[in-house]
Amino acid sequence: MPPTPCSLCHTARALVKRPKTGQQVCKDCFFEVFETEVHNTITEGKGIFERGEKVAIGASGGKDSTVLAHVLSVLNKRYDYGLDLFLLSIDEGITGYRDDSLETVKQNQIEYGLPLKILSYNELYGWTMDKIVEQVGRRNNCTFCGVFRRQALDRGAAQLGVDHIVTGHNADDIAETVLMNIMRGDIARLGRCTAVTTQSEDTIKRSKPFKYAYEKEIVMYAYFKKLTYFSTECIYSPDAYRGHARVFLKDLEAIRPSAIVDIIHSGESFQLEQSVQKGMKAMQTCLRCGYISSNDLCKACALLEGLEAGLDRSALRQTQANSSTAPVGHRTIPMFERYSNIGVAQPTEGIEKAVQTIEIK
């Protein structure tokens, strides 16, 4: 086949076929359209960032967060967002997996000149994933890891005093989550999983600048830019349900590449009826650790109590603990204080508290 010319500059040789549009583009035009589309996601409407914001990039050392750190550094300079960027990594304590990928994050820290904070499950919860798996087995450990990581990111961000966490979730991830929420009937999450920025459930604003970036393009970008990233499968059992959704989505994409943005669009278009919205639980704060929660105890405190009690897999199904004090001798999670360094008076409780805390600057 003769080389195809780039459909944008019409001079250089096309090297990438864009899955979203079918466009055939050269390397330089690919970098430009990829970066510009992320910029558009960031600035659309009111925009996700405010000038002067402190922003933590959730960095795992994997392809998505590595490309995100790179692209955000570039765009912050090119368009003068005025952001103060940080790298925030969570060390789950998985020997031979996370310790290697954290080395990659440290390399990124040097390459991008961004300050790095690493917060470990061990210092926060007193448990590493290695120890958790030893106790609960391989079947359900992803539940622990997911709940603990989400909260750890917020706590790490609070310690850094940042206003905003950005993650490398890409279009494929979001389409996958839309499918999973439909299959699980999780209406509450279906409603918010396609938002670029979420604030309702979290105490700290979270955004996904790669919402419309295809995984294929992220990997191509990393390859052509020769970025340092790390890719190894977690050594513990993968999230089987997500795995199936992922394979299904990749099969769809192979037949019709626009399937991914189409599913995101469907997710965005769902509207909840008022009666459904009323049935959803209001948010409050965990009685034990102060983290935002839909029950008296947040999931992390409930899971931790099960671990501390020496329960095995049944820790997941144990009777709902609801006391504000942990049983004697159990380790607990430190109190969550968003602006502990400023000394703001704590407002009222529940969802109101969450909203007010966010507005205080």
- Of 92 and 173, the one with the shorter C-beta distance to another protein is 173
Contacts (CB under 8 A) with another protein, residues 21-40? 24, 28, 31-32
Spatial distance between the Cα atoms of 45 and 26, rounded to a whole number of angstroms: 30
Span of 133-141, 158-166, 176-184, 214-222 interacting with another protein by CB under 8 A: 214-222
Q: Are 125 and 333 in contact (CB under 8 A)?
A: yes
**Alpha-carbon span 90 to 56, nearest angstrom:** 12
Q: Which stretch binds another protein (CB under 8 A): 10-18, 259-267, 288-296, 336-344?
A: 10-18
Query: Is 229 among the residues that bind another protein (CB under 8 A)?
Result: yes
Residues 68-107 that bind another protein (CB under 8 A): 70, 73-74, 77-78, 100-101, 103-104, 107
Quote the strand ranges of the chain, DSSP E: 16-17, 24-25, 54-58, 84-91, 116-120, 164-166, 197-198, 205-207, 284-285, 292-293
Are the C-beta atoms of residues 249 and 156 closer than 8 Å to each other? Answer: no
Question: Pairing between strand 164-166 and 197-198?
Answer: unpaired
User: Interacting stretch for another protein, rule CB under 8 A, among 40-48, 55-63, 197-205, 325-333?
Assistant: 55-63
What is the sign, positive or negative, of the torsion defined by CA atoms of 250, 254, 260, 262? Answer: negative
Q: Residue 70 CB, nearest distance to another protein (Å)?
A: 6
Say whether residue 237 binds another protein (CB under 8 A).
Answer: no
The answer to whether the CB of 279 falls within 8 A of the CB of 272 is no
Taking CB under 8 A as the rule, does residue 232 contact another protein?
yes
Of the candidate residues 65, 194, 285, 357, the single one contacting another protein (CB under 8 A): 65
Are the CB atoms for 121 and 93 separated by under 8 Å?
yes
One of 231, 277, 340, 341 touching another protein (CB under 8 A):
231
Instruction: Tell whether 64 is in a known binding site.
Output: yes
Q: How far is the C-alpha of 273 from the C-alpha of 270, rounded, in Å?
A: 10
Distance from C-alpha of 5 to C-alpha of 249, rounded to nearest angstrom: 30
User: Tokens 């409050």 identify what position?
Assistant: 284
Tokens of 129: 């994933």
Q: Name which position in 155, 205, 246, 338 contacts another protein (CB under 8 A).
A: 246
β-pairing verdict for 164-166 and 54-58: parallel
- Beta strand 116-120 with 205-207: parallel, antiparallel or unpaired? unpaired
Is the CB of 254 or the CB of 276 nearer to another protein? 254
Stretch that binds another protein, among 66-74, 269-277, 280-288, 350-358 (CB under 8 A): 66-74
User: Can you name the residues that pair with 44 across neighbouring β-strands?
Assistant: none
User: Among residues 254, 280, 335, 342, which is the contact residue for another protein, using CB under 8 A?
Assistant: 254
Q: Structure tokens of 178? A: 């839309």
Is 101 a known ligand-binding residue? Answer: no
64 lines the binding site for another protein (CB under 8 A): yes
Asked whether the beta carbons of 35 and 76 are under 8 A apart, the reply is: no
- Check residue 241 for interaction with another protein (CB under 8 A): no
59 annotated ligand binder: yes
Q: Residue 208: phi, psi to the nearest 5?
A: -125, 85
Q: Which is nearer to another protein, 223 or 339 (CB)?
A: 223
Question: Which residue reads 């279009």 in tokens?
Answer: 171
CB of 169 to another protein, least distance (A): 7
Q: State which of positions 137-176 bind another protein (CB under 8 A).
A: 168-170, 173
Annotated binding site for ATP: 58-60, 64, 90, 168, 173
Question: Which residues would be at the binding site for another protein (CB under 8 A)?
Answer: 1, 3-4, 13-17, 24, 28, 31-32, 60, 62-65, 70, 73-74, 77-78, 100-101, 103-104, 107, 111-112, 168-170, 173, 215-216, 218-220, 222-234, 238, 246-247, 250-251, 253-254
Annotated binding site: 58-60, 64, 90, 168, 173
